Amino acid sequence: MNQTRSVRSQALDLLRFPLACVVVTIHVFAGCDFAIQGEEFDLSGYGVFMALTAFAKAFLAAQSVPVYFFIAGYVFFLGITLTKETYFRKMKNRFRSLFIPYVLWNVLGIVMVLFPFIPALHSIFPGCDWHDLNISFRTILSCFWNYAEPGTVGLIDRPINAAQSTLPGDPATFPVDGAMWFVRDLMIVAALTPAISWLLKKFGVMLPAISGIIWFCTPNLGLGHVYQLITALFFFSFGAYFSFHQFDMVEEFRKYRTTSYYVYVLSALYLLAYTYFSGNIKRVVMFGFADSEMMFVKNITIIAGLFFAYNLAVHLIEKYHIRPSKLLSSAAFFVYAAHLIVLEYVKKIVSLLFPPVSDFNAVMLYLLTDVVTCCGLLALYIVMKRYTPKLLSPLIGGRL
Residue 312 bridge partners (DSSP) = none
DSSP 334: H
d(Cα 73, Cα 141) in Å, to the nearest integer?
A: 29
| Ramachandran angles phi, psi of 62, nearest 5° | 65, 15
Give residue 103's identity as a one-letter amino acid code. Answer: V
Profile the chain (400 residues) by mean pLDDT over runs of 10 residues. Answer: 72 96 96 82 92 94 96 93 94 96 96 84 70 81 78 55 41 89 98 97 96 94 92 97 91 95 97 86 80 89 97 96 94 97 93 95 97 98 97 91
Give residue 378's Cα distance to chain centre.
17
At residue 288, the pLDDT reads 80
Name the DSSP class of 174: -
Q: Are 121 and 115 in contact (CB under 8 A)?
A: yes
Contacts 24+ apart (CB under 8 A), 192-196: 192/233, 193/76, 193/77, 193/82, 193/87, 193/90, 193/240, 194/82, 194/87, 196/233, 196/236, 196/237, 196/240
- How far apart, in whole angstroms, are the C-alpha atoms of residue 400 and residue 397? 8
Torsion of CA 261, 264, 267, 271, to 10 degrees: -130
> Residue 129: how many CA atoms within 13 Å on its side-chain side?
6
Q: How far, in Å, CA of 370 to CA of 61, rounded?
A: 15
Instruction: Find residue 240's DSSP bridge partners.
Output: none
Phi and psi at residue 194, to the nearest 5°: -60, -40
What residue segments make up the domains of the chain, in order of their start?
A: 1-71+261-400
Note the pLDDT of residue 171: 63
Closest by CA position to 308, among listed 53, 70, 30, 26: 70
- Whether 301 contacts 343, CB under 8 Å: no
Residues present in the chain in total: 400
Task: Report d(CA 377, CA 346) in Å as an integer.
Answer: 11
Tell me what pLDDT residue 151 has: 46
Predicted pLDDT at 164: 41
Q: How many whole angstroms separate alpha carbon 330 and alpha carbon 398?
A: 10
pLDDT of residue 167: 40
